[in-house]
């Protein structure tokens, strides 16, 4: 190695590390309930700090994942999807709900719109969640498999004590052996 290169390497090793210039990002909620991300304090944005999401809990099968979904990987059955969506809504966790959404083919603008919609849905108190079939499931027949559900219906109370109930129906999609929701 040439002498100049050795000196340059030695100088680089002995030089103090450059200070990090990254600042903290504050996640706040404004008066209309929208998320606000800023390097300024929440109070300076006329907003309040957003509560940290609840930690994931073990599900009925004893699994825990980073997102709190009810099983590792995807929902293999409509019932597993229902359990995962119900858990996300009970925890008011938009990120957990988003793990059950079928995002394939969704662009950036549509993705942002959908996350806003999912955030509004997770903000409301859950009253019920159920699978819905287009036609009633057929009577138990030994040779015919039951028809799969077509939608997942959730009933919620109005946010912040507002009167009335809100109904959302997600379409169900099966892709790559997993069950997903779509608006």
Cα separation, 88 vs 76, in Å, equals: 17
What element of type H or E holds 151?
strand 151-157
Q: Where exactly are the structural domains of the chain?
A: 70-136+148-183
In angstroms, the Cα distances linking 121 to 82, 86, 88, 95, 155 are: 15, 12, 10, 12, 10
Q: Which residue has the tokens 């912040």?
A: 160
Cα separation, 100 vs 82, in Å, equals: 10
Query: If you ran DSSP here, which 8-state letter would residue 67 be given?
Result: T
183 residues of the chain, pLDDT tens digit each: 677 667 666 666 666 655 555 567 788 888 877 787 888 888 888 888 877 655 555 544 444 444 444 444 589 999 999 999 999 999 999 999 999 999 988 899 999 999 999 999 999 999 899 999 876 555 656 666 667 899 999 999 876 556 678 999 999 999 988 999 999
What CATH number does the domain located at 70-136+148-183 have? Answer: 3.10.450.50
């Amino acid at each position: 190695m040439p002498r100049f290169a050795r000196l340059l390497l030695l100088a680089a090793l002995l030089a103090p590390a450059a200070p990090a210039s990254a600042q903290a990002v504050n996640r706040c909620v404004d008066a209309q309930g929208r998320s606000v991300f800023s390097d300024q304090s929440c109070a300076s944005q006329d907003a309040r700090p957003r509560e940290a999401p609840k930690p994931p809990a073990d599900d009925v099968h004893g699994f825990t994942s980073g997102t709190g979904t009810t099983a590792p990987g995807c929902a293999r059955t409509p019932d597993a999807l229902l359990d995962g969506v119900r858990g996300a809504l009970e925890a008011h966790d938009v990120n957990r709900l988003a793990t059950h959404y079928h995002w394939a083919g969704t662009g950036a603008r549509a993705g942002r719109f959908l996350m806003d919609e999912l955030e509004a849905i997770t903000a409301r108190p859950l009253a019920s969640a159920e699978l819905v079939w287009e036609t009633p499931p057929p009577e138990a027949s030994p040779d015919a498999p039951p028809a799969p559900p077509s939608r997942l219906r959730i009933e919620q109370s109005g946010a912040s004590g507002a009167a009335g109930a809100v109904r959302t129906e997600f379409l169900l999609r099966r892709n790559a052996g997993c069950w997903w929701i779509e608006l």
